[in-house]
Amino acid sequence: MGWVYRPEFLQKAHEILGEFPALCILGPRQCGKTTLARRGWPDWEYIDLELPSDFDKLNADPELYLSTRKRPLIIDEAQRYPEMFPILRALIDRNRKTNGYFILLGSASFRLVSGINESLSGRVGFLDLSPLLISEASSSLLDVDSHWLKGGFPDALLGGDPQKLSFDWFDHYARTLIDRDLPALGIDVTPLQFRRLWHMCAHVHGSLLNMNKAAESLGASPHTVKRYLDILEQSFLVRRLPPFFANMKKRLVKSPKLYIRDSGILHYFLRIMTPDDLVVSPERGRSFEGYVVGQLLDLCRLRSPQYEGFFFRTSDQHEVDLVLVTGTRRILVEVKAGLSVGDREVSRLQRCAELLKASRSYVVTYGADRYPLAQDIECIGIKSWAENGFPSFWLEPSTDPSSERAL
């Protein structure tokens, strides 16, 4: 795999290490956590707890091993040895004036975060590392189409034919997660049932989550479906986007929307192999929606984490794909896989902006232009966004001061 420089994540990581004694980098397997840490801190000592030799070094006498390090330490797959967390706490408390001494890497957030919250609360800062973002892929001379089709996992994106999905890579990834990684963490799943649910998530991608219907289709209990979805979400493989509630006299949808987080995994399950397949696929619109929503949420979390993401939908079909919220400021984003935006779509977005008293609204299309659609509403073609270096358009000020009012 070629190294893709990830300056925004590195800068964020350095900021966290300047504030906390330890940094925990979380993300899905194979997203580049190890590469980021080893390239970003090449002089630090490194151990990988998936390697029996490194595991044995720590396990023989963890207090002795951790307390005698002469260099800062990177601990990969840290969730595999939760017994070290109380020892780390004692070492950190002994030297509280020293920040930036440990980096913990992990792909199963439920196991690692639980251990940190129990023993290291207030001593560790967190960084969620996504697969390569569209802005990072673009800086590596990869176009939007390749990134959308192949997803952001570095090996899957950078290897093989740029115009074809890396099917074998994703097949191996899914099998390894289900058959090896989850059992190694003590997570009990029925492999065939778990894979069927994951596959089902691809077919309801971008739709409201109906737990009972999913359970009925799977032939499992709602409890099992919820547990499996929790595992997928905490492994950074699916996202449940919550609905936005506001004080208005309308019935609002209360179920979350479900997305497969990486477009490459989505296309693997849907058997969308080439750009031509994507053009004619009936899933094109939902795929593009999930792709744009995911990229925006990941960029927001990195650049402006004060924003929270929601979707909005009423019972009479007023809806917006993404609502970014901080305080009383609300930014609406609608996603269209086509090249143009019709008058009816603009009217619907205006109505939603009125209901939510939004600061600004945007329609992100597959096009290559940026232009105004109405007062405080703009169309941004995703290729125009790429050409301009992916600015954080959601931070732009409103031209209408009255739109900043709270509900």
Return the HEC string of 310-367. Answer: EEEEECCCCEEEEEEEECCEEEEEEECCCCCCCHHHHHHHHHHHHHHCCCEEEEEECC
Residue 2 has pLDDT above 60, yes or no: no
**Contact of 274 with 163, CB cutoff 8 Å:** yes
* Domains identified in the chain, total number: 2
Is residue 1 in some structural domain?
A: no
Q: Residue 232 burial by CB count (10 A; 0-12/13-18/19+): exposed, middle or buried?
A: buried
Confidence (pLDDT) at 405? 37
Domain boundary among the residues 108, 128, 148 is at 128
Distance separating alpha carbons of residues 265 and 260, to the nearest angstrom:
7
pLDDT-derived band of residue 407, with 50, 70 and 90 as boundaries? Answer: very low
Distance separating alpha carbons of residues 43 and 54, to the nearest angstrom:
18
Tell me what the mean pLDDT of segment 167-187 comes to: 92
**12-54 confidence digits (pLDDT tens):** 999 999 999 999 999 999 999 999 999 999 999 999 999 999 9
Residue 233 has pLDDT above 50, yes or no: yes
185: containing domain? 134-404
Distance separating alpha carbons of residues 25 and 272, to the nearest angstrom:
31
Domain boundary among the residues 109, 128, 147 is at 128
**102-124 confidence digits (pLDDT tens):** 999 998 767 678 888 888 888 99
Are residues 169 and 115 part of one domain?
A: no
Is residue 70 in some structural domain?
A: yes
Residue 401 has pLDDT above 70, yes or no: no
As given in the structure block, the two tokens for residue 136 are: 């990072």
**290-301 confidence digits (pLDDT tens):** 999 999 999 999
Are residues 226 and 106 part of one domain?
A: no
**48-92 confidence digits (pLDDT tens):** 999 999 999 999 999 999 999 889 999 999 988 989 999 999 999
pLDDT-derived band of residue 250, with 50, 70 and 90 as boundaries? Answer: low
The average confidence (pLDDT) of the chain is 90
Confidence (pLDDT) at 140? 62
Cα–Cα distances (Å) from 274 to 109, 237, 295, in that order, read: 32, 22, 21
Is residue 280 in some structural domain?
A: yes
Is residue 66 in some structural domain?
A: yes
